[in-house]
Structure 1
Amino acid sequence: MTDDRDDDGLDELLAAMQAAADPTVPELLAQIDRARQAPPPEVTTIPDPEMVFGAETLARFRCPLQCGWTHEEPVGDGPLRVILPADWSLEDLNSALCLDAEVRALAFRTNVEQAIDEHFRQRHPEI
């Protein structure tokens, strides 16, 4: 018994179905490629935090020299500060959310680094 189906049309149909099911696969692959080519993150003096969960989530940073000092910094404090145009698009929303996250991350990092620097100046001036 022979199969008289048109295999050429089937291949095209399967390719179209796959593209419709996963339209973001090429974009995800492109993002992975860009991430691999990105420079490494900045070096920081911030040690790994211990997360403290309660009424407010805090990141607790301990002195790397184990002198007992800690600094606690609120995580995700306050409402989002996002401004969108009246005729906003998803791209506008994405940009605004990313900018807000970058501003918060910079403020968080600055506060923690300043606290650690001040601690070392006061408690460990020899270093």
Structure 2
Amino acid sequence: MLPANPLRGEAEVRIGAIDFRIAVTFSGLARLSDAIGARTLDELYGRLLGFEPKAVACAVRCLIVADDEDHISALSAKILDDGNISAADQLAWREAVEKALSAHIAAGTVRRDERTASQIAGDAVL
């Protein structure tokens, strides 16, 4: 497995015995919001951090990073198997979601920075 790329809003997570990556993207958030009926990003975030079972199950499917649709389906099924996932995974999940969402927001902020390279360098020195 390749390491997570925070520039793409990715984070590594271990649920049960399975290591995988999630990526927070706007399209992934939109799919997840639709799947669980969340109306705002705040609601979505709260439900993910609260480890709401349906939200987590849908998020694994909507945010997982894998090679193709077949791999996503197979890996999601293994992760969400009752013999693998439990409430004990809440902290690892929360940390990964926070990291991935923070990276997504930071990347979006950087893309909107309209300062010149000289201004950025000057601000960094000050």
TM range (shorter): under 0.3
The structure where helix makes up a greater share of residues is 2
Looking at CA atoms only, which structure, 1 or 2, has the larger radius of gyration? 1
TM-score by length of 1: 0.26
TM-score by length of 2: 0.26
